[in-house]
């Protein structure tokens, strides 16, 4: 689960990470009031769940409360399109107004769960202010990666190692090491999957603070953090994705024209690849999950049919625990409730009760082409082309 | 032969009285697995399916029934605890089916398992099956498998069924099929399984099924290049997945160059693996591997 920058900074500040003074505003007037309270130059930042806000025109340094108000008016209520959002963009409902920090150096500090290292890894770089992927690709030697031993936990020497790697002044070493410990505490206690400070700014007077911050929490661990759930902002996601999650479906909206309904994440990716190999583009990733019932499958069908970009639907079920006849009934229920907007379907069913499922579909009034394997599925998709 | 589980497996199911646990315990037993006991705290002294003793602790179950493999089917919040209990009772092969285990919990038990020589499979995996030894420790549909000499290892459950389905349809049997699971941090990775297939006299070739996210496939490629003596056919799915979006599996997310499908295929191809061009070609590519070997 992603949260907004202002929320992340509030949490990090509670753990002792220094952040610039500021406040969040939902209206231009509020933005002006926060700017007036802070005084001097302030930065106004659109609050959206996407990177690349600066380049997309979502962040502005302004000299007065009036300018803050003007800029807030220009972006609040609008959709911001960045290189991470897709063409529709995401709505800006709030802006963060923060003191304009004087920056001498821009550093990078993050903590992630790294599958390769099988654990928690601290990442630091002198090359802050740009995307770390870019640094990793061009100048990997500028990145320090430190694994935290799961039994020992973070040790102070690791914080010092980060500080020396970042070449901060001797008198700042303790401060940086402390900051690493604070970030680690926030990460572990909230079951984060990512805690990133970029840039970690060094001011000319030696102060160090998190000018931008990002926190993501692990969905699977939210059950032990009920308070964090409150921070969720469903407006930042496509409506279909919220609908799918509520139905217990694993769904990711894409921009193609072939809707996919599959059981299992791996098979769902494979099915998308089959659509691509057939010269089409998948409209979505969708895994109904092993424990799916008729109602959940029906909801999947409704979600796909509500997407006007979908020209045809490819169903690929390898029945194990999930029975094919259950899927077939779900498809019929879902299609019935959207009878005016039906699209042709290519269906491949194998495994538990496959014959029964195929029979239910072939005897229905739906435009269904039953296929036996993935090769035939690709050919059928191509024929619809 | 086979790897990890076989006719000598004495299976214990943790969570055996739960809805999922009892369902899958029964299916394993029906397949032919020697199910010797179950554990559910508070239900010790009862019987499962009339013949299987249920214990309060893994330690008691091991002492009385000599269980040597545990299948963990408990809710996510209790999975790490259950795995730790099995390892504490000296079980050396632990298979965790549970999906949705918090990753920081996995980090701890995976680290403990690796330091103590425990083969932990999963979490979030379908388990494993050795058709020749009539031993199934997992949730896969048993009847699609056929005893034979191809090893299968996959991050995805349904895709391993797909692979097995294609192999069996072509008359190609399997030695052991291992689902390592879809989480970013798992107890057993491709390399661990390949190492065992390398030493297994009755595995002739391996089908490896990877996907976007992480670098487990690159690690496998390194190992194949330097050490693996048998032919490998590899499929990577998620070629059409966009970066930054999680494709169902917690670990299936492109977060850097190495996580992309084409990078993984490049590494595996360079290591000498035959790349399976499309998910429909698993059986055909495997058959070519086996035929090439006979020539």
pLDDT in tens, A111-162: 999 988 999 999 999 999 888 888 888 888 999 999 999 999 999 999 999 9
- Quote the minimal CA–CA distance from B3 to chain A in Å: 23
Q: Is residue B242 part of a domain?
A: yes
Q: Is residue B3 part of a domain?
A: no
Sheet bearing A368-371, strands edge to edge: A250-253, A284-287, A258-262, A312-319, A345-351, A368-371
Is A124's Cβ below 8 Å from some Cβ in B? no
Q: How far is CA A364 from the centre of its chain?
A: 39
- Shared domain check, B144 and B114: no
pLDDT tens per residue across span A309-340:
899 999 999 987 789 999 999 999 999 887 67
- Shared domain check, B110 and B154: no
Q: Which residues form the domain of B194?
A: 140-294
Q: Which residues form the domain of A201?
A: 105-229
Measured between beta carbons, the chain B residues lying within 8 angstroms of A250 are 248
* A310 and A257 Cβ atoms separated by less than 8 Å: yes
Please name the residues between 197 and 236 in chain A that touch chain B, using a CB distance below 8 Å: 218, 220-221, 223-224
Q: Is the bond leading into A83 cis (omega within 30 degrees of zero)?
A: no
- Shared domain check, A315 and A252: yes
Q: Is residue A15 part of a domain?
A: no
* A186 and A12 Cβ atoms separated by less than 8 Å: yes
Low-confidence ranges of chain B (pLDDT < 70): 293-295
- Shared domain check, B89 and B213: no
Q: Is residue A53 part of a domain?
A: yes
- Shared domain check, A154 and A120: yes
Picking from B121, B152, B173, the residue at the C-terminal end of a domain is B121
* A44 and A71 Cβ atoms separated by less than 8 Å: yes
- Shared domain check, A212 and A118: yes
Q: Out of A5, A106, A196, A299, which one is annotated catalytic?
A: A196
* B141 and B24 Cβ atoms separated by less than 8 Å: no
- Shared domain check, A95 and A111: no
- Shared domain check, B163 and B273: yes
Rounded to an integer, what distance in angstroms lies between the CA atom of residue A175 and that of residue A196?
17
Picking from B72, B90, B121, the residue at the C-terminal end of a domain is B121
First to last CA, chain B: 24
* A9 and A195 Cβ atoms separated by less than 8 Å: no
Is A271's Cβ below 8 Å from some Cβ in B? yes
- Shared domain check, A71 and A184: no
- Shared domain check, A376 and A285: yes
DSSP type of residue B43: -
- Shared domain check, B287 and B203: yes
* B148 and B164 Cβ atoms separated by less than 8 Å: no
Q: Is residue B4 part of a domain?
A: no
What residue in A sits closest to B161 (Cα-Cα)? A318
Picking from B121, B152, B187, the residue at the C-terminal end of a domain is B121
Measured between beta carbons, the chain B residues lying within 8 angstroms of A152 are none
- Shared domain check, B173 and B273: yes
pLDDT tens per residue across span A55-107:
999 999 999 999 999 999 999 999 999 888 878 889 999 999 999 878 999 99
Give the ipTM of the model, two decimals please.
Answer: 0.90
Q: Is the dihedral angle over the CA atoms A363, A364, A367, A372 positive or is it negative? A: negative
- Shared domain check, B161 and B97: no
Nearest CA among A33, A94, A111 for reference residue A235: A94
Q: What is the tally of structural domains in chain B? A: 2
Q: Is residue A16 part of a domain?
A: no
- Shared domain check, B147 and B117: no
- Shared domain check, B282 and B156: yes
B166-184 per-residue burial string, b: 16 or more CB within 10 A, e: under 16 = bbbeeebebbbbbbbbbbb
Q: Is the dihedral angle over the CA atoms A247, A249, A253, A257 positive or is it negative? A: negative
Rounded to an integer, what distance in angstroms lies between the CA atom of residue A43 and that of residue A138?
30
Please name the residues between 349 and 368 in chain A that touch chain B, using a CB distance below 8 Å: 350-352
Q: Is residue A9 part of a domain?
A: no
Q: Is the bond leading into A256 cis (omega within 30 degrees of zero)?
A: no
- Shared domain check, A259 and A135: no
Residue B214, H or E segment:
none
- Shared domain check, A282 and A145: no
- Quote the minimal CA–CA distance from B238 to chain A in Å: 5
Count, residues in chain B: 295
Q: Is the dihedral angle over the CA atoms A287, A289, A290, A294 positive or is it negative? A: negative
Picking from A176, A194, A229, the residue at the C-terminal end of a domain is A229
Q: Is residue B6 part of a domain?
A: no
- Shared domain check, A321 and A274: yes
- Quote the minimal CA–CA distance from A276 to chain B in Å: 7
Q: Is residue A1 part of a domain?
A: no
Q: Is residue A249 part of a domain?
A: yes
Is A143's Cβ below 8 Å from some Cβ in B? no
CB contact under 8 A, A252 and B247: yes
Q: Is residue B128 part of a domain?
A: no
- Shared domain check, A370 and A326: yes
Alpha-helical segments (H) within chain B: 19-31, 58-65, 76-88, 103-115, 157-169, 190-199, 216-227, 261-270, 282-294
Residue B249 a catalytic site member = yes
Q: How far is CA B18 from CA A189, B31, B73, B75, B100, in A?
A: 30, 20, 8, 9, 17
- Shared domain check, B155 and B115: no
Q: Is residue B115 part of a domain?
A: yes
CB contact under 8 A, A264 and B156: yes
- Shared domain check, B275 and B144: yes
Q: Is residue B240 part of a domain?
A: yes
Q: Is residue A354 part of a domain?
A: yes
pLDDT tens per residue across span A330-370:
999 999 887 677 899 999 999 889 999 999 999 999 999 99
Picking from A99, A130, A145, the residue at the C-terminal end of a domain is A99
Q: Is residue A190 part of a domain?
A: yes
CATH number at residue B72: 3.40.50.720
pLDDT value of residue A192: 97
- Shared domain check, A253 and A370: yes
- Quote the minimal CA–CA distance from A177 to chain B in Å: 23
CATH number at residue A54: 3.30.1490.20
CB contact under 8 A, B240 and A263: no
User: HEC profile for chain A?
Assistant: CECCHHHHHHHHHHCCCCCCCEEEECCHHHHHHHHHHHCCCEEEEECCCCCCCCCCCCEEEECCHHHHHHHHHHHCCCEECCCCCCCCCEECCCEEEEECCCCCEEEEEEEEEECCCCEEEEEEECCCCCCHHHHHHHCHHHEEEEEECCCCCCCHHHHHHHHHHCCCCHHHHHHHHHHHHHHHHHHHHCCEEEEEEEEEEECCCCCEEECCEEEEECHHHHHHCHHHHCCCCHHHCCHHHHHHHHCCCEEEECCCCEEEEECCHHHHHHHHHHHHHCCCCECEEEECCCCCCHHHHHHHHHHHHCCCCCCEEEEEEEECCCCHHHHHHHHHHHHHCCHHHCCCEEEEEEECCHHHHHHHHHCCCCCEEEECCHHHHHHHHHHHC
Q: Is B15 left (phi over 0), alpha (psi -120 to 50) or beta?
A: left
First to last CA, chain A: 37
pLDDT tens per residue across span A22-55:
999 999 999 999 999 999 999 999 999 988 898 9
Picking from A197, A229, A261, the residue at the C-terminal end of a domain is A229
pLDDT tens per residue across span B60-99:
999 999 999 999 999 999 999 999 999 999 999 999 999 9
Q: How far is CA A55 from CA A51, A59, A78, A84, in A?
A: 9, 8, 16, 11
DSSP type of residue B60: H
CATH number at residue B290: 3.40.50.261
Instruction: Assign A385 a pLDDT band (cuts: 50, 70, 90).
Output: low
Q: Which residue of B241, B248, B276 is the best one to mutate when testing the A interface, meaning the one whose CB has the most A CBs within 10 A?
A: B248
- Shared domain check, B234 and B117: no
| DSSP per residue, B75-98 | -HHHHHHHHHHHHHTT-SEEEE--
pLDDT value of residue B295: 47
Q: What is the tally of structural domains in chain A? A: 3
- Shared domain check, A247 and A379: yes
CATH number at residue A342: 3.40.50.261
């Amino acid at each position: 689960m992603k949260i907004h920058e202002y929320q992340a900074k509030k949490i990090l500040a509670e753990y002792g990470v220094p952040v610039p003074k500021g406040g969040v505003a939902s209206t231009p007037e509020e933005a002006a009031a926060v700017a007036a309270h802070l005084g001097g130059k302030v930065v106004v930042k659109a609050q959206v769940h996407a990177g690349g806000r600066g380049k997309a025109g979502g962040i502005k340094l302004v000299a007065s409360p009036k300018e803050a108000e003007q800029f807030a008016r220009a972006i609040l209520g609008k959709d911001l399109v960045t290189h991470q959002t897709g063409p529709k963009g995401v709505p800006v409902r709030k802006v963060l107004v923060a003191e304009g920090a004087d920056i001498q150096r821009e550093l990078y500090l993050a903590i992630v769960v790294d599958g390769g290292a099988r654990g928690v890894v601290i990442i630091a770089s002198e090359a802050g202010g740009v995307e770390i992927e870019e640094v990793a690709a061009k100048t990997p030697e500028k990145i320090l990666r430190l694994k935290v031993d799961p039994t020992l936990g973070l040790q102070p020497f690791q914080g010092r190692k980060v500080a020396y790697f970042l070449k901060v002044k001797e008198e700042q070493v303790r401060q940086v090491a402390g900051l690493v410990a604070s970030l680690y505490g926030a990460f572990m206690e909230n079951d984060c999957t990512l805690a990133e400070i970029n840039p970690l700014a060094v001011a000319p007077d030696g102060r160090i603070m998190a000018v931008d911050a990002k926190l993501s929490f692990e969905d699977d661990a939210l059950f032990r953090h009920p308070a964090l759930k409150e921070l969720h902002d469903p407006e930042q996601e496509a409506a279909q994705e919220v609908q799918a999650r509520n139905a217990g479906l694993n769904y990711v909206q894409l921009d193609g024209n072939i809707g996919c309904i599959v059981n299992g994440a791996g098979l769902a990716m494979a099915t998308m690849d089959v659509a691509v190999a057939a010269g089409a583009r998948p409209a979505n990733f969708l895994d109904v999950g092993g424990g799916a019932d008729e109602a959940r499958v029906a909801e999947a069908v409704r979600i796909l049919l509500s997407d006007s970009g979908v020209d045809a639907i490819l169903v690929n079920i390898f029945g194990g625990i999930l029975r094919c006849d259950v899927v077939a009934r779900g498809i019929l229920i879902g299609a019935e409730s959207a009878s005016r907007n039906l699209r042709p379907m290519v269906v491949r069913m194998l495994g538990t009760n496959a014959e029964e499922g195929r029979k239910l579909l072939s005897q229905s009034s739906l435009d269904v082409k039953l296929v036996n394997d993935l090769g035939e599925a690709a050919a059928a998709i191509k024929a619809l082309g | 032969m086979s790897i990890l589980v076989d006719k000598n497996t004495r299976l214990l199911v943790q969570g055996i009285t739960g809805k999922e646990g009892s369902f899958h315990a029964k299916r394993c037993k029906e397949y032919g697995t020697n199910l010797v006991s179950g554990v559910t705290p508070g239900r010790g002294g009862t019987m499962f399916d009339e013949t299987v003793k249920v214990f309060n602790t893994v330690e008691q179950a091991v002492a009385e029934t000599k269980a040597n493999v545990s299948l963990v089917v408990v809710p996510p919040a209790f999975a790490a605890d259950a795995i730790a209990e099995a390892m504490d009772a000296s079980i050396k092969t632990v298979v965790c089916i549970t999906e949705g285990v918090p990753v920081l919990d996995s980090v701890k038990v995976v680290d403990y398992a690796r330091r103590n020589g425990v083969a932990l499979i999963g979490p979030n995996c379908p388990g494993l099956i050795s058709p020749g030894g009539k031993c199934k420790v997992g949730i896969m549909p048993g009847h699609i498998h056929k005893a034979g000499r191809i090893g299968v290892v996959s991050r995805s459950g349904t895709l391993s069924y797909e692979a097995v389905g294609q192999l069996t349809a072509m008359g190609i049997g399997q030695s052991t099929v291992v689902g390592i699971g879809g989480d970013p941090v798992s107890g057993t990775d491709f390399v661990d399984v390949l190492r065992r297939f390398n030493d297994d006299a009755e595995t002739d070739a391996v089908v490896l099924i990877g996907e976007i996210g992480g670098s487990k496939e690159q690690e496998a490629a390194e190992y194949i290049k330097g050490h693996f003596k048998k032919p490998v056919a590899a499929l990577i799915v998620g070629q059409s997945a966009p970066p930054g979006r999680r494709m169902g599996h917690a670990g299936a997310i492109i977060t850097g160059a190495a996580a992309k499908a084409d990078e993984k295929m490049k590494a595996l191809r360079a290591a000498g693996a035959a790349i399976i061009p499309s998910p429909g070609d698993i059986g055909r590519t495997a058959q070519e591997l086996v035929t090439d070997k006979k020539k």
